[in-house]
Structure formats: structure tokens, C-alpha cells
């Protein structure tokens, strides 16, 4: 598919940029999503726009909605840019193509680990930047740990997980974490859910147990884990299961 080929080439270019000697950590202006954009964010956005604008309008965390076309390309140019600025090795990008309001394919890159997760219809695979290696992504056994993004701001879910003996990590890149849902016990987020943060990763979880509303997001491959956490959320007066 042409969109996926263009996404892969864009991510390869960004991967080379992030591994260059150029200073990319300078903070510039506040972006559309409300965060301060780094030089890396804006350069990565420009690369994505150059490669992907022919597929439709671009909806980006940095600049909002731009371009023309019936379809929409939702991008987070650097997912986890604060991690990148702090030399924490967990950051990537997300790009998803929406047709008639639905995501039909997506690429979520992990620049720190050097690979891209790619999904189109029933094809879900991992392609590495530095090798001609491709792996099929499949469900792995329960590993005993999940991912809870923005756990530091949780007033109720964090104590609940502690009391329920759920172990988790808070890694700081939501799209990337969602793309890993097949490999961890759960992915949980508490806070304002923004489309450019989740469009690609959420699509990659479409065959798992999922919950999402304006304040919570939960994905798990295990129904028991999903039911226990989602029931607690429902007890807090949250609606929005689908």
C-alpha cells in the first residue's frame, strides 16, 4: 500500500535525523496540542508532511489540521519527545490514515529500539530500521506487568492497581505503548485522550479488549484483567464502553 510505503520512508528519514549530530532538543513554540514543541518535533513533522500530504489533510500534534483532501492523516511526529530530550530510551512516532472517519492503516515507530510496528487489515508486523528483518506480531503469554501512562497524576486508579497487585510501568509515549499491547498484560491511561496520541496505536489494538472515553483508556489481551480494571472504572461513574 502506497501510504504504508510513504510512512516507512518518512520514519526512516526521521530515524536518521534523530541519530545525527544535529542539536534537536531546543524548545521552540507551543504546539497545537498544548505542549512545547522541540526542534525535533517540528523537523519530524515537516518530514511527515512532505511524505504524506498527498494522501489527505494532515492532523498533527504540532500544527493541527492542514492541507486538502477527503481523507485525514493523523500524526504524532515525536511520541515521547520529553523522553527524547532527557535521553530516556522510549520515544517514537505515530501515523494513521483515516478514511470515512475510520483508521485503515497505521505505523507506530520506536526510534529508541529501532523498529516500526505496521498494521493494515489483518497484517500486523514489526520491521527493523537497521536490518531487513520483519517479524509478525502475535499475542504473547501474560508477563506480569502492564503499562500505565500518566500514572503520576492518578488519584484513584494507581491505589486500586497497587491494592490489586497489578504491576506496571509508566513509560511516557502513549501511541508506542498501545502498539505494544499484544506483548504486555494491559495498557492503561488516565487523562485527556487526544486523537493524535492514540489514532495509530488504538487501531493496532482493535482485536483486543478495549475501553475508551474522554478520561480513561484501557486495553488488555486478557479478559480477566480487563474486566477487573474496567469494572473499577465503571464504579467511578464512567461510561463509554464499546
Burial of 159 (0-12, 13-18, 19+ CB in 10 A): exposed
Domains, the chain: 2-136 (3.30.540.10), 146-235 (3.40.190.80)
Distance CA 41, CA 77 (A): 6
Using one digit for the tens of pLDDT, what is the confidence trace for 73-103? 999 999 999 999 999 999 999 999 999 999 9
Distance CA 149, CA 171 (A): 6
What is the pLDDT at residue 102? 96
Quote the mean pLDDT of the chain.
91
Question: Which pTM does this prediction carry?
Answer: 0.91
Could you give phi then psi for residue 85, rounded to 5 degrees?
A: -65, -25
Task: List the Cα angle 184/187/189 in 5-degree steps.
Answer: 160
Do the Cβ atoms of 193 and 223 come closer than 8 Å?
no
Using one digit for the tens of pLDDT, what is the confidence trace for 150-199? 999 888 899 999 999 999 999 999 999 999 999 999 999 988 888 888 99
Torsion (CA) 70, 11, 59, 87 in degrees, nearest 10? 170
Distance CA 232, CA 206 (A): 22
Using one digit for the tens of pLDDT, what is the confidence trace for 3-22? 999 999 999 999 999 999 88
Confidence of residue 242 (pLDDT cuts 50, 70, 90): very low
Amino acid at each position: 500500500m502506497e501510504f504504508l510505503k510513504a510512512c516507512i520512508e518518512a520514519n526512516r528519514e526521521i530515524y536518521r535525523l534523530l541519530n545525527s549530530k544535529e542539536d534537536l532538543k531546543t524548545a521552540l513554540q507551543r504546539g497545537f496540542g498544548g505542549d512545547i514543541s522541540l526542534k525535533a518535533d517540528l523537523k519530524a513533522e515537516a518530514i511527515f508532511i512532505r511524505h504524506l500530504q498527498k494522501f489527505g489533510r494532515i492532523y498533527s500534534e504540532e500544527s493541527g489540521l492542514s492541507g486538502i483532501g477527503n481523507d485525514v492523516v493523523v500524526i504524532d511526529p515525536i511520541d515521547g519527545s520529553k523522553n527524547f530530550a532527557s535521553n530516556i530510551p522510549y520515544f517514537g512516532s505515530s501515523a494513521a490514515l483515516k478514511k470515512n472517519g475510520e483508521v485503515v492503516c497505521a505505523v507506530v515507530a520506536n526510534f529508541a529500539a529501532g523498529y516500526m510496528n505496521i498494521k493494515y487489515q489483518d497484517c500486523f508486523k514489526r520491521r527493523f530500521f537497521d536490518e531487513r528483518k520483519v517479524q509478525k506480531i502475535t499475542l504473547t503469554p501474560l508477563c506480569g506487568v502492564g503499562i500505565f501512562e500518566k500514572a503520576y497524576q492518578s488519584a484513584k486508579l494507581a491505589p486500586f492497581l497497587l491494592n490489586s497487585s497489578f504491576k506496571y510501568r509508566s513509560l511516557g509515549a502513549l501511541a508506542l505503548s498501545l502498539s505494544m499491547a499484544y506483548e504486555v498484560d494491559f495498557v492503561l491511561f488516565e487523562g485527556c485522550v487526544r486523537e493524535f496520541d492514540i489514532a495509530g496505536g488504538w487501531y493496532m489494538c482493535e482485536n483486543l479488549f478495549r475501553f475508551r472515553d474522554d478520561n480513561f483508556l484501557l486495553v488488555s489481551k486478557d479478559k480477566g484483567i480487563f474486566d477487573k480494571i474496567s469494572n473499577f472504572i465503571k464504579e467511578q461513574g464512567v461510561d463509554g464502553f464499546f
